[in-house]
Amino acid sequence: MAKVDVIMPQMGESIAEGTLTKWLKQIGESIERDEELFEISTDKVDADIPSPTSGTLVEILVEEGATVEVNTIVARIETEAGAAAEASAPAPAEEPPEPEPAGGEVVEVETPASPTVPDAAPATTAPEAVAEPGSREDRLQSRSTPLVRKIAAEHDVDISSVVGTGIAGRVTRDDITAHIEAMKRGEAPAPAAPPTAVPTLPAAVTATTGAGAPAAPAEAAPPGVMRVPIHGATLDIKIPSIPIREGDRVEEMNRVRLRTMEHMLLSKRISAHVTSVNEIDFEHVVRLRRKLKAKYAEQGVKLTYGPFIMKAVTEALQEYPILNASVDGTRIVYHADINLGIAVSVNDGKELIVPVLKNADRLSLMGLAEGANELADKARTKTLDFDDIVGGTFTITNVGVFGNLFGTPIVNQPQVAILGTGVIEKRPVVAQDELGNDVLAIRHMSYFGLSYDHRVVDGAMAAFFLNKLKDVLENFPEDAV
């Protein structure tokens, strides 16, 4: 009788672990393919996870309330009906071979299709039979994964004596194996970092390169360096410690902040960032929105400026498809669909999530308004599905909602451009009257900042794109509403 592993899925590119909140089936119960098996919760998404196959649930390896890394095996299903339901502890799977280190400099050797999450558990590694209890903070303080703790126990190693190079100082598999090898050679292990050394991100982040032969995969990062794996290579980022003075408040970054830091640093390292800004007259859109608000409200739809901007963006992307693309090594991938990522501020502005409005170019103004409102509501109520947060090809972020004139956002990998929309406000501008005379007028104006990857998008193309946006918004066709 064949058994099928059920794994913790990755609910978004920057999410590395999830909490299994509830089992919807119990050991011995039969289940159909795609029938809901368990519920999970992450920092950004709550979801019901379907069964990958039909059969009988015979093993539950992660208890309710436990948080495990993505790709961890959480259960096993026997694929024939009537299978024995007695659970047994899984045997550890054979470790996959370590990737070959990149030769020469320690830099990325190829642009990844999506950011690599550091310290993620390999899909082929089975966890302990029962997940370790405790809160997320307890697990971070333990500074290790179940696999690492298992290796440490087998070699009688005190995990607290191992210097961790993973997220929040977590001890990775490479750290523990390097520590064990050092003990076998009779070398004294490196002392753990002092608790008062708080890593902070400097204004300028530089990439360090290795000297001589490439470092072995198990080698720990030097002091004051965050080592980020990138598509089989590694990127070393200097993060010096600062002195802690009396009265200073010290706070560890939470998991969302750490993932955001990694994602942003990765994007800055991959893409050659440039930002161009254009000023747009919104007077026509303001009047059109005012005219349509009541009509849309009657249909239960709140009409903001967002759908007008999204409509203009989709038209501009169709005319300039290089901004709706991704880079795959030395190839440019022009995406057939226009899937708009819409940045939504959640948790009182402390966090940001980017749900994706699929096939936005096929939607009317009403459809864009309905879709954007639904995604924003789901983001704020933490009810986004997995499909809601993947597949974006271009992102829009509204810095104007906080009163900012414009922004220079960081490209959301693996995309090549992101639009930051500034505040729409009344300003005195030079306009023309009915006779063509220059006059001083008060108009609703806004600055749009387009950040783009200069590897494939040139300044002229960015300017053409922004000018197209300006033209569509300043002359928005009323028959498009």
pLDDT in tens, 107-139: 333 333 433 333 333 334 333 333 344 444 444
pLDDT for res 217:
40
What the chain holds in terms of domains, given with CATH numbers, is 3-78 (2.40.50.100), 136-266 (no CATH), 271-480 (3.30.559.10)
The winner for highest mean pLDDT among 134-138, 164-168, 300-304, 431-435 is 300-304
3-state secondary structure the chain: CCEEEEECCCCCCCCCEEEEEEECCCCCCEECCCCEEEEEECCCCEEEEECCCCEEEEEECCCCCCEEECCCEEEEEECCCCCCCCCCCCCCCCCCCCCCCCCCCCCCCCCCCCCCCCCCCCCCCCCCCCCCCCCHHHHHHHCECHHHHHHHHHCCCCHHHCCCCCHHHCECHHHHHHHHHHHHCCCCCCCCCCCCCEECCCCCCCEECCCCCCCCCCCCCCCCEEEEEECCEEEEEECCEECCCCCCCCCCCCHHHHHHHHHHHHHHHHCCEEEEEEEEECHHHHHHHHHHHHHHHHCCCCCCCHHHHHHHHHHHHHHCHHHHEEEECCEEEECCCCCEEECEEECCCCEEECCEECCHHHCCHHHHHHHHHHHHHHHHCCCCCHHHHCCCCEEEEEHHHHCCCCCCCCCCCCECEEEEECCCEEEEEEEECCCCCEEEEEEEEEEEEEEEECCCCCHHHHHHHHHHHHHHHHCCCHHHC
The confidence score (pLDDT) of residue 214 equals 36
Determine the pLDDT at residue 420. 97
Res. 191: pLDDT tops 60 = no
Tens-place pLDDT, residues 379-432: 888 888 878 888 999 999 999 988 999 999 999 999 999 999 999 999 999 988
Rounded mean pLDDT, 303-325: 97
Residues annotated as catalytic are: 454, 458
Q: What is the pLDDT of residues 16-69, one digit of tens each?
A: 678 898 999 999 999 998 888 998 877 666 778 889 999 999 999 999 988 888
pTM listed for this prediction: 0.59
